[in-house]
Amino acid sequence: MKIFETHAHLDFEEFDKDRSKLLKDCFNSGVEKIINIGVGKQSSINSIKLAEKYPQIYAAIGFHPSEINDYDEDFLIENLANKKVIAIGEIGLDYYRMHFSKKEQQEIFSKQVDLALKFDKPIIIHDRDAHEDCYKILKDRKAKNVVFHCFSGDENFAEKVLSENWYISFTGVITFKNSKMDNIIRMVPKNKFFIETDSPYLSPTPNRGKRNSPMNLRYIINKIAEVKQVTPKMVADISYGNAENFFLKNLKK
């Protein structure tokens, strides 16, 4: 079984003590590709460093809505030229934490969407309690290659996202007892989803509360398999192919 981890923060200090051993364990257990996600300038730099060190790792760079204070467009433009920088993210709107006003968040989000379109990079969306505004900004700009990371909308919003031909990504949240995500899992076509851990956060059941790592992807795979009534291997293979086509297609040009 080969697995594509589409969203992790393995540069975070939670992994400082055992990063190289953990990565070795991941690669040995079938996690063949990992996208490490930036949330601001320093973590984007660290993501690129990891991607340059490991052939299996790719980087996404961007400014998360809680970290827009050091927004640096020149930094993004410079580094988007790096072959291992394969997406802009995570970017979006967070109306749950509100470190910045809606207007400020929307302004920086819009700028980054424009950049992604200009450089033909996929966009990894962080959307917390801001579904409609995220949708509008993306729709107004005719964004094409979009994934809603850790999808948290309802069935109606999933339908809207899917009708734009955008993607939905599942984290360990789908394994939580109260997640209410089974219907979304059922309705997502097999060519429209990815899997991700968002490590070190969102550890799936039965490891909830502990540090998360790509080693836990199998719980997410098993949950999707159970709901969609297919084998775990099918879920891993299909999501691997989806992620490869979506994130790595420019590498083949």
Binding residues vs Zn ion (CB under 5 A): 198
Q: Which residue, 79 or 169, has its beta carbon nearer to Zn ion?
A: 169
Q: Which residue, 126 or 223, has its beta carbon nearer to Zn ion?
A: 126
CB of 7 to Zn ion, least distance (A): 6
Q: Which residue, 11 or 175, has its beta carbon nearer to Zn ion?
A: 11
Cα–Cα distance measured from residue 106 to residue 116, given in angstroms and rounded to the nearest whole number: 15
Cα–Cα distance measured from residue 76 to residue 216, given in angstroms and rounded to the nearest whole number: 31
* Gyration radius from the chain CA atoms: 17
CB of 44 to Zn ion, least distance (A): 12
CB of 199 to Zn ion, least distance (A): 9
Q: Is the dihedral of CA 2, 15, 39, 54 positive or negative?
A: negative
Are 57 and 26 in contact by the 8 Å Cβ rule? The answer is no
DSSP 9: -
Closest residue to Zn ion in the complex (CB): 198
Q: Which residue, 23 or 198, has its beta carbon nearer to Zn ion?
A: 198
CB of 87 to Zn ion, least distance (A): 12
Q: In the chain, what is the greatest distance between 2 CA atoms, to the nearest angstrom?
A: 47
DSSP 177: T
